[in-house]
Chains A and B, each alone.
Chain A
Amino acid sequence: MTSGAGLYFELGLKHLTDLGAYDHMLFLLALVAPYRLKDWKKLIVLATAFTLGHSLTLALAALKIIPVQTQWIEFFIPVSILISALAALFIKPGGKPTFHYVLALVFGLIHGMGFSSFFAALLGKASNVVSPLLFFNLGIELGQILVILLIFGLYFLAHKLFSVQHRHWTLFVSGAATGLALVMSLENYPL
């Protein structure tokens, strides 16, 4: 892609799916861990709540309306993964997960500030902010959808090929996310 908009779209997509900065993917893994394929309507609401949260703070930070303390955000992101991973153990996929939607929205606000520090690095001296911001955010959205599809693809394979039970899957991925997020939180504690 050679147009400016396409470049920022690609950068947004790459940022979310970057294996070198997998924290947002790990968050999505922990967030969707309690759900089954048939809970797809709840997943859409959940992903939309996260999107609303991160789009809002990304835009406000990019437009310099809110300040971002990068080192605290780099700490709160793994903490949000840790809490989501622990919450996944208590969420019943058949129930009404209103609390989980609120959690996704609130943690979206934190991740959006994380996106904004990367986005700020991509802007030039005289760059127009609005169009790059829009396309960068759209790239993040596509990345988020792809990551969720990949997670459910893996779950589907584990379930169909190896008869992994849903509860075991939830326990395993939230356990893995808890461990990683705990280490990341301790490493990123800013004081």
Chain B
Amino acid sequence: MQTSFRKPRRRNSWCIAAFLGIGLFFLALSPHKFYVSLFEINQGEESLEITLKTFVDDLEMALGEKLEASSFDSLHEKYLLNHFSLRVNGQPLQVSFLGSEMDENDLMVRWTYIEVPFRGRVNSLEVETNYLTDVLPDQVNIIQFKADSECAFSDMLTKDKILKKFNCP
């Protein structure tokens, strides 16, 4: 007991060093990769046109299998329709999967085209998705929505926030 009173400062320094060291050790174990996908939603004449950017390795992790070019669209469509939905002006709308293509430069990036038939003015848009967030806890889904120059919004959805409502002025 005597010694601990005599050298308190040195002891405290060791405690801090230990805490910092342990903290840094856990940081070192964290994964380095980032998990992002992006939904660009633009209003066309007869539909909302959606371009989805996906990193194929993340999708493979979510589906638990390797994706071949031939089976990519059918497996992805099934997954997407279960993990993404839209409501426009309060009404749920049918999402149809058009197809996909590989990025010209990045082999891991796939662009998927989706269409939601809709005519008229968008007053409100609700996007609900747990796309990849159901399996990848760090996944961020960026939503960019543009109806016209008056109404353009973006936001990101995560594991803890799967629904976003945009209101046009």
Q: Does A21 contact B (CB under 8 A)?
A: yes
Contacts of B152 in A (CB 8 A): 3-4
Which residue of the partner chain A has the closest CB to B15? A162
Contact among A7, A19, A22, A74 for B155, CB-based, below 8 A: A7
Q: Does B55 contact A (CB under 8 A)?
A: yes
Complex: A172 Cα to B33 Cα, angstroms: 27
Contact among A20, A127, A184 for B31, CB-based, below 8 A: A20
Complex: A158 Cα to B111 Cα, angstroms: 50
Q: Does B84 contact A (CB under 8 A)?
A: no
Contact among B16, B30, B38, B155 for A162, CB-based, below 8 A: B16
Check B154–A176 contact: CB distance below 8 A: no
Across chains A and B, the number of contacting residue pairs, with CB separation under 8 Å, is: 82
Check A121–B28 contact: CB distance below 8 A: no
Interface size on B, residues (CB 8 A): 33
B1-34 Cβ-contact flags toward A at 8 Å (1 or 0): 0000000010011001100110010011011111
Q: A2-B153, A126-B51 are in contact. Are A180 and B9 (CB under 8 A)?
A: no
Contacts of B55 in A (CB 8 A): 121
Contacts of B28 in A (CB 8 A): 180, 183-184
Q: Does A23 contact B (CB under 8 A)?
A: yes
Q: Does B95 contact A (CB under 8 A)?
A: no
Contacts of A164 in B (CB 8 A): 13, 16
Q: A121-B55, A126-B51, A180-B24 are in contact. Are A22 and B30 (CB under 8 A)?
A: yes
Q: A4-B154, A180-B28 are in contact. Are A124 and B51 (CB under 8 A)?
A: yes
Interface size on A, residues (CB 8 A): 35
Which residue of the partner chain A has the closest CB to B25? A180
Contact among B30, B38, B154, B156 for A20, CB-based, below 8 A: B30
Check B32–A23 contact: CB distance below 8 A: yes
Which residue of the partner chain B has the closest CB to A187? B32
Check B156–A7 contact: CB distance below 8 A: yes
Check A2–B142 contact: CB distance below 8 A: no
Which residue of the partner chain B has the closest CB to A158? B16
Contacts of A69 in B (CB 8 A): none
Contacts of B51 in A (CB 8 A): 124-126
5 smallest A-B Cβ distances: which pairs? A124-B40, A162-B12, A7-B154, A4-B154, A20-B30
Q: Taking beta carbons and an 8 Å cutoff, which residues of A are in contact with B?
A: 1-4, 7, 10-11, 15, 18-23, 74, 118, 120-127, 158, 161-164, 168, 172, 176, 180, 183-184
9 contacts between A and B (CB under 8 A): A3-B153, A7-B142, A11-B156, A122-B38, A125-B51, A127-B144, A180-B24, A180-B27, A184-B28
